[in-house]
Amino acid sequence: MSDPRSNDQYDWLYGKPQQPDAPTAQQASAPHGGGSDLPPPNLPPPGRRRPSGGDRPPRRSGSRRSSWRTIKLVLLVWIVFLAAVPVWAWSRIDRVDAEPAGERPGDQPGITYLLVGSDSRKGLTAEQRADLSTGNPEGARTDTILLLHIGAGPSTLVSVPRDSIVPIRDVGTTKINAAYAVGGPKLLVETLEQTTGVRIDDYVEIGFGGLVNLVDSVGGIEICPKEDVKDKDSGLDVKKGCQEADGKTALAYSRNRHSFTTQDIERVQNQREVIGATGAALRSPWTVINPARYFSVGKGGSESLTIGEDVGPISLARFALSLSSVMGGKGLNCTVPLADFSVRWDRERALQFFELIKTDRTAQLDDLCTKDGLPKS
């Protein structure tokens, strides 16, 4: 007799496992998990969070630290560069003994600098002299003579026309630029001190080639001639109106006088224009931001200047900042009081003018300070 438990009808009673139906052809060909109620593999059970660090990309903290180190290194190199260029430039500046012997005016309040633009051809080749129309004289004279007084009142820049007639020791009464030609910086300082009564504390000189280098180092400057000028002596050839000028043109513009009826009076104003435009270019943030320009300015400045032996780096920096400030309109810009276009000094007004400077009362100069030196009408 057959076992009743083998009958399919009793399977439910005796617990015989049911066999699953064979998969259909469609199910067999479906991708794994497709059409199935089972969860796909590798998924966490419901209600559980993915373990930390599962399939997430690792944090790149090491890369960020490397970037910060690179930035810090670049900043350090930049700071060292900014500090090193002035130190290197300072070591290249020429020095000269400009302190005269004998009796001098006593100490005075404030500081007075003498800025000389000489027609020295030192450092210029024959080709450069021809290109700049400087000629080839054996000696050197002063094309530019400026006094800069810094004190309690407004900083004051004073142009002294080079054709001013003054007494010069062992020479006689003649043009003031002869003092430099005969006795160099010492005799020029002595002559100015004895004529004006103002004690000169520091001496700064720039030559022809130096001015060209300095202007070119800032990429040129803007000049604004009031008329067309073509002068064979200075080499100047410009049209009326504001325009960009390179070092060669700026030099010719500051030297030219034969094209003007007022000659020396107009020239000193052009010289101040060139100085002011150069100072404005040097003050530009681009001078520091652009490393090539920063180095070029340092190199050009060091090759341009000759300073007194007693002039220190702080004093020179103060001079440069004050000169730039005055030319930027934050001080007084004057010419020695003159009697007429022949650049004869107006004795009475000149005595009052220099008395106020040597006593550091520049705020009281008022009408004594004019750009051309002539009295206001």
| CATH code of the domain covering residue 328 | 3.40.630.190
**Residue 17 counted as domain residue:** no
Provide DSSP, 353-369. Answer: HHHHHHTT-GGG-GGG-
3-state secondary structure of 119: coil
Q: What is the pLDDT of residue 38?
A: 56
Round to whole Å and give the CA distance between 227 and 267: 14
**Residue 15 counted as domain residue:** no
Q: What is the pLDDT of residue 260?
A: 60
Give backbone dihedrals phi and psi of 41, rounded to 5 degrees, phi first.
-65, 155
Contact 112, 200 (CB under 8 A): yes
| Segment 285-292 long-range contacts (CB within 8 Å, at least 24 positions apart) | 287/218, 288/82, 291/81
Nearest to 304 by CA among 275, 277, 280: 275
Counted domains in the chain: 1
Q: What is the pLDDT of residue 259?
A: 60
Q: How far is CA 336 from each of CA 14, 128, 147, 372, rounded to the nearest angstrom?
A: 131, 34, 10, 8
Round to whole Å and give the CA distance between 248 and 123: 15
Largest CA distance in the chain: 161
Containing domain of residue 240, as a range? 91-368
pLDDT tens for the 377 residues of the chain, in order:
455 444 554 444 445 555 555 555 555 455 554 445 555 555 555 555 555 555 555 656 667 778 888 888 888 998 999 899 989 989 889 999 999 988 899 999 999 999 998 765 554 555 655 555 554 555 566 778 999 999 999 999 999 988 899 999 999 999 998 999 899 999 999 999 999 999 999 999 987 677 788 888 888 989 988 888 888 777 888 898 999 999 889 888 888 776 665 667 777 888 888 888 888 888 788 888 888 888 988 888 887 789 999 999 999 889 988 888 887 778 999 999 999 888 899 999 999 999 999 999 999 999 999 988 999 87
3-state secondary structure of 339: coil
**Residue 374 counted as domain residue:** no
**Residue 105 counted as domain residue:** yes
| Residue with the two structure tokens 């681009």 | 286
User: Which letter, b or e, does each residue of 332-369 get, where b requires 16 or more Cβ atoms within 10 Å of its Cβ?
Assistant: bbbbbbbbeeebebbeebbeebbebbbebebeebeebb
Give the sign of the dihedral formed by CA 177, CA 182, CA 188, CA 193.
negative
**Residue 8 counted as domain residue:** no
Q: What is the pLDDT of residue 39?
A: 55
**Residue 174 counted as domain residue:** yes
Round to whole Å and give the CA distance between 364 and 377: 19
Q: What is the pLDDT of residue 58?
A: 60
Contact 238, 253 (CB under 8 A): yes
**Residue 25 counted as domain residue:** no
**Residue 290 counted as domain residue:** yes
Helices (H), the chain: 11-14, 25-29, 61-92, 126-132, 177-196, 208-217, 247-255, 264-283, 286-289, 291-304, 313-325, 347-358
